[in-house]
Amino acid sequence: MDSKLHSLFQGAFYIDYQYGISCLPTIYQDLTNKSSIQVTKEELIAGVQSNVKSDSSSLEGEVLVIDFKQPVVKFDYGSWLGTQTYIKILETYKNNPNIIGVVFDIDSGGGQVYGTGEFYDYIKSYPKPIVTYTNGYMCSGAYYFAAATKYIVAHSRADAIGSIGAYSTIIDSNGIWEHFGGKVHVMYASKSKGKNSNYREVIENSNYEPYIKNELDPIVEDFHDDMKAVRGELDEAVFDGSTWTGKNSLPLGLIDEIGSLNTAINKVYELAKENTSSSNSNTNSNMSKQQIEVPAIQKVLGFHGPIGTNEKGSYLQEDQLNTLNGAIEQRDSSITSLQTTLNRAQEATSKAETAINAALDNAEIEYNAEDTLSQKITMLNDQRNEFAKNPSTGKTQTGTTADPSLDSDEPVVEYEHNKVANEILNR
């Protein structure tokens, strides 16, 4: 069996039951290869698209009308295109300037859960307006992704809209094998007791509750949450899975308007025009309101307020650029001058420290290498003051030989180390 066909029968479904039954002949034809129509995928894709131009709108461009008149399946199967293919179609036109928006013309009772949520998310975030129209079925999985569009139009006699819910069919095929003499044995690893437990409860014990609670209920909760997120006006009655005709769907919030395909096309033009006006308004607003605070530049240029900017940046006139250039050059010149002065000061400080160290050594004054210049000067100053009070202590006599200079009237300030100290202290 084709793996894609197999995927049609696995898991849960967002599908109206009667619609699902109506799809069986198509599946049977595929199984027996009795389909009288053979078309390529490219022909199928081309066949679901048409471009429409409205004569009543002032906007240039066309609306892309996409037919969705099949079950909802994730991947292509036979004449049914998968939601993955529909995403690729929409991607093709997303940046096409000639297409202003999209109309989905839907006649589908739903289909697989598989892939439908992803399609919903894609449509919800599509940058161009998408409007939905139906004059037939728009149920379950089909309504799921349709709800993500900007607006829903339905013919008053549309057959069935809604069916917001999910169900699953599980076929116990063991009896078939046993009918032909086979015996089915299913074994699970000792550490895989939870594997397929919900399914096994159905097959082995006819106990549906675990499958409903753990498989179907979470699927429906997501379905309900997504519907409320995009169509907050939905009547609570629609969440039991029932369906309504087009006329009866309107008061329940399932659709936005009773109308025709042309109504939906015109709505796309209306939404596109609103988007264009809003975009232009936002652009103008941003250009007028966006400002940047650069105080240093504002001061140089003499601006009393912030500088205007937009998405492309800020622009300055030639004279403003020259002013900035002059200010930068002047600042560079000042920095150079200050650096020269600093270098000279450091050189003078180094020479002074060398002289002071020599004076301290000559005066036999003890000091530490980590002493600051100021501390060393204080040491010299203290000794100078001491000598001034007691000149006889200026020199040390060795043995009995007296230094005749100690008996002289020479001031102590004339000693060599005191000269250095005096020079530094500006004495």
Of 61, 147, 148, 153, nearest to 101 by C-alpha is 61
Q: Name the token pair of 299.
A: 């001061």
In the prediction, which pLDDT does 408 show? 46
Cα gap 66→73, rounded to integer Å: 16
What is the DSSP-derived secondary structure letter of residue 107?
A: E
In the three-class reduction of DSSP (H, G, I as helix; E, B as strand; rest coil), residue 67 is classed as strand
Other C-beta atoms closer than 10 Å to the C-beta of 358 total: 13
Q: Confidence class of residue 402 from pLDDT cuts 50, 70 and 90?
A: very low
Q: Identify the CA nearest to 359 among candidates 390, 381, 386.
A: 381
Q: Take residue 176 and report the two structure tokens written for it.
A: 């078939």
Residue environment code for 314-351, b if the CB has 16+ CB neighbours within 10 A, otherwise e: eeeeeebeebeeeeeeeeeeeeeeeeeeeeeeeeeeee
* pLDDT at residue 392, rounded to an integer: 60
pLDDT at 407: 45
**Mean pLDDT value across the chain:** 84
Residues 161, 246 contacting (CB under 8 angstroms): yes
Closest to 261 (Cα-Cα) out of 45, 123, 66: 66
Query: How confident is residue 414, by pLDDT bands cut at 50, 70 and 90?
Result: low
Per-residue confidence band for 82, with pLDDT thresholds at 50, 70 and 90: very high
What does the alpha-carbon distance between residue 60 and residue 101 come to, in Å, rounded to a whole number? 12
Q: What is the mean pLDDT of residues 256-262?
A: 98
Comparison of pLDDT for 18 and 349, the residue scoring more: 349
Of 13-27, 121-135, 229-243, which range is least confident? 13-27
Pick 114 or 291 by higher pLDDT. 114
Give residue 350's pLDDT band: very low, low, confident or very high (50, 70, 90): confident
- Average pLDDT, integer, range 165-184: 92
**Above pLDDT 90, what percent of the chain?**
52
**399 has a pLDDT exceeding 60:** no
Residue 240 DSSP code: G
Can you list the domains of the chain with their CATH numbers?
A: 3-173+208-274 (3.90.226.10)
| Mean pLDDT, range 28-41, rounded to an integer | 70
